[in-house]
Amino acid sequence: MLTNEERIKEIEAVLAKTPHHKATNHFIGRMRAKIAKLKDELWQKGGGGGGGGFAVAKTGDASVVLVGFPSVGKSTLINKLTNAQSKVAAYDFTTLDVIPGMMDYKGAKIQIFDIPGIVSGAASGKGRGKEVISVVRSSDLVVIMVDLKYMNKTDDIKKELFDAGIRIDVQPPKISLNKENSGGVRLTSNLNLPFDLQTAKEIAQEFRFNNGEIVVKEMVSMDQLIDSFARNRVYLPSMTIFNKADLLPKGKKINGFDLLISADKGEGLDKFRELVWQKLNLARIYLKRPDGTADLENPLIIRLGQNFKKILEKISICNKDSFINAKINGPGAKFPNQEVPLTFIPQEGTIVEFCS
């Protein structure tokens, strides 16, 4: 009996020989859906979905994972940024477990994980790949890290993450799946989609969605439609950094990276901290006490775009269930002590007093 990995390779071989045109779309859609389903089953058996990963305790306001090939300087970087003690050496696979460290920045506690170097085939389990990727999947930000040796390998890393169901720097497709008891599959959209109803039916039925409505609210690809059915997809922001920039040949310029640093020399680390803050979409707001003074020493760390109601759900504060509105000052306020509903979305630096 073939393993899931063998079945995936078999289907991929068939797809490679299949011409792509309108008449083959139905078949191609179903085969891609089969591959996605088989990969889902792999992760449910261990690694990314149902156990077998590293045991990692998450604390703080957000988590960041350093992803890269062996010996690109991840351990050196986390030791410079945090209180971690990750072993550093000049040979591959120095880090054999997950090393957590805590970075303090602008009042936020940002947990950073140094994980074993990713290798080709990690998505299918090679080189402890499933354990490594399980940590990536549970993080809030992926930092892809390379050096001169691996500077052209960022796409390889992204492919491993993609094959493991990790979608970086994109949002989930705006597709609603409304399952019903009968009536077959319907496709609803006012867009000229690159697939037809029959292709959508083939994909849906592969995921045992035999009756119901598929509502597509934006232009999406066939693969994005498959993603909406698959169970192992996670969507994460990322940043790509080039380490050991001090070792670049004189005059050599490189492009395509968010940041160039030298972890060993401590160069570019302030820019790294700020970029992490921005990519995580973090902000500080300040709570105003009942006596009228604001606690400007201890900011509350939030995600930009969240309203006060959502923020209150995640913090420990007395009598929060009794709050019905808020008074704000500073950024976002049109005038001092402006009264706003709990649906108000604060900005960086907003001072807030919750009111019953």
Residue 273: inside a domain? yes
Same domain, 110 and 195: no
Residue 56: inside a domain? no
What pLDDT is attached to residue 133?
80
Which amino acid is residue 282, in one-letter code? L
Residue 241: inside a domain? yes
Segment 64-79 shows an average pLDDT of 91
Residue-range definition of the domain harbouring residue 200: 4-45+174-229
Region of poorest pLDDT, from 7-21, 47-61, 146-160: 47-61
Same domain, 209 and 76: no
What pLDDT is attached to residue 93?
42
Same domain, 159 and 307: no
Same domain, 144 and 84: yes
What pLDDT is attached to residue 49?
40
| β-sheet bridge partners, residue 283 | 302
Residue 165: inside a domain? yes
Average pLDDT, the chain: 87
- In 3D space, the residue among 4, 108, 95 whose CA is nearest the CA of residue 54 turns out to be 95
Q: With contact defined as beta carbons under 8 Å apart, do 242 and 261 qualify?
A: yes
Distance in angstroms (rounded) separating the CA atoms of residues 337 and 347: 15
* Beta pairing class for 166-168 and 234-236: parallel
What pLDDT is attached to residue 45?
62
Q: Assign residue 339 the CATH number of its domain.
A: 3.10.20.30
- In 3D space, the residue among 147, 81, 162 whose CA is nearest the CA of residue 117 turns out to be 147
Residue that is last in its domain, among 219, 250, 279: 279
Q: What are the structure tokens assigned to 116, written together?
A: 């074993």
Helix axes 197-206, 25-45, angle to 10 degrees: 20
Same domain, 164 and 251: yes
Residue 57: inside a domain? no
- Dihedrals phi, psi of 249, to nearest 5 degrees: -55, 145
Q: 65 versus 5: which is more confidently predicted?
A: 65
pLDDT band at 43 (very low <50, low <70, confident <90, very high): low
Distance in angstroms (rounded) separating the CA atoms of residues 296 and 286: 6
Q: With contact defined as beta carbons under 8 Å apart, do 332 and 339 qualify?
A: no
Residue that is last in its domain, among 243, 259, 279: 279
Same domain, 156 and 191: no
Residue 349: inside a domain? yes
Same domain, 33 and 153: no
Same domain, 141 and 255: yes
Chain-centre distance for alpha carbon 4: 26
Residues in the chain: 356
Q: Is the pLDDT of residue 352 over 50?
A: yes
Same domain, 75 and 163: yes
Residue that is last in its domain, among 245, 279, 313: 279
Region of poorest pLDDT, from 25-34, 117-126, 262-271: 117-126
Same domain, 126 and 224: no
Distance in angstroms (rounded) separating the CA atoms of residues 61 and 139: 11
Helix axes 222-229, 197-206, angle to 10 degrees: 30
Distance in angstroms (rounded) separating the CA atoms of residues 117 and 95: 8
Q: Sheet of 212-216: strands edge to edge?
A: 175-179, 212-216, 185-188
Torsion of CA 32, 34, 38, 44, to 10 degrees: 100
Q: Helix (H, G, I), strand (E, B), or coil: what is residue 342?
A: coil
Residue 55: inside a domain? no
Same domain, 128 and 207: no
Distance in angstroms (rounded) separating the CA atoms of residues 73 and 86: 11
**Residues above pLDDT 90, as percent of the chain:** 62
Q: What are the structure tokens assigned to 147, written together?
A: 């050096």
Q: Assign residue 140 the CATH number of its domain.
A: 3.40.50.300
> What is the tally of structural domains in the chain?
3
Residue 51: inside a domain? no
- Dihedrals phi, psi of 151, to nearest 5 degrees: -60, -20
Same domain, 25 and 136: no
| β-sheet bridge partners, residue 17 | none
Q: CA 64 → CA 111, 120, 184, 213, 248, distances in Å?
A: 6, 22, 43, 37, 26
pLDDT in tens, 167-207: 999 999 999 999 999 999 999 999 999 999 999 999 999 99
